[in-house]
Chains A and B, each alone.
Chain A
Amino acid sequence: MTPSPLAFGGRHPNPRNKRAAAVIGVGHTDWVRDWQRCRAGEQPNDSLGYGLEAFRNALKDANINRDEIDGLIAGPTTAYERMGELAGLNPRWGDQSDAVMAVSQAVMAIEAGYAEVVALIYGNDQRSVGTQYGGPAAMGGNAHLSYVYHSPWGFTSQGALYALTLQSYKHARGFTEREMGEVSVAQRGWSSLNPNAIQRKRISIEDYLASHYVCQPLHLFDYCLINDGGVALIIAEAERAKKLSSRPVFIEGIGRSDLNSGATSLESRVDEFYLPAQQVAAAQSYAVSGLGPKDMDVLQVYDSFSVHVPLALEGYGYAKVGEAGKFLRESGIGPGGKLPTNTSGGHLSETYMQGWAHQVECVRQLRGECGDRQVKDARHVHYTSDVAGKCFSVIYGV
Chain B
Amino acid sequence: MSATEVKTPRPVMGLYDKPMWESVRAGAMKLQRCKHCATWLYPPGPSCPKCLSPELEWTRVSGEGKIVSWVVFHRHYLPAYPPPYNAIAVRLAEGPTMISNLEGTMPEDGCIGRAMRLVYVTMPDGVMLPRWRYEG
Contacts and interface: CB of A to CB of B under 8 A. Distances in A.
A266 B73 CA distance: 18
B12 A148 contact: yes
Interface in A108-155: 134-136, 145, 148-155
A266 B49 CA distance: 15
A203 B87 CA distance: 30
Interface residues of A, number: 35
B70 A164 contact: yes
A168 B69 CA distance: 5
B74 A265 contact: no
A167 B75 CA distance: 18
Nearest to B50: A261
Interface string B89-101: 1000000111111
Identify which of B74, B80, B98, B100 gathers the most chain A CB atoms within 10 Å of its CB.
Answer: B74
Contacts of A212: 74
B91 to A, nearest CB: 8
A262 B97 contact: yes
A62 B127 CA distance: 58
B127 A163 contact: no
B78 A261 contact: no
Contacts of A267: 96-97
Contacts of B97: 262, 265-267, 270-271
Question: On chain B, which size bracket covers the interface?
Answer: 20 to 34
A64 interface: no
A157 B75 CA distance: 10
Interface in B69-128: 69-75, 77-78, 80-81, 85, 87, 89, 96-101, 112, 127
A167 B70 contact: yes
B11 interface: yes
A215 B127 contact: no
B42 interface: yes
Contacts of A217: 71
Contacts of A155: 71, 87, 99
A149 B9 contact: no
B87 A149 contact: no
A215 B75 contact: yes
A156 interface: yes
Contacts of A160: 71, 73, 87
A269 B106 CA distance: 22
User: What 7 pairs between A and B have smallest CB-CB spacing?
Assistant: A154-B81, A168-B69, A151-B9, A150-B99, A216-B72, A155-B87, A163-B71
30 contacts: A134-B75, A134-B77, A135-B78, A149-B99, A151-B10, A153-B87, A153-B129, A154-B73, A154-B80, A155-B99, A157-B75, A160-B71, A160-B73, A164-B87, A165-B69, A167-B69, A167-B71, A168-B68, A168-B69, A171-B69, A171-B112, A213-B72, A215-B73, A216-B72, A217-B71, A265-B43, A267-B96, A270-B68, A270-B97, A271-B97
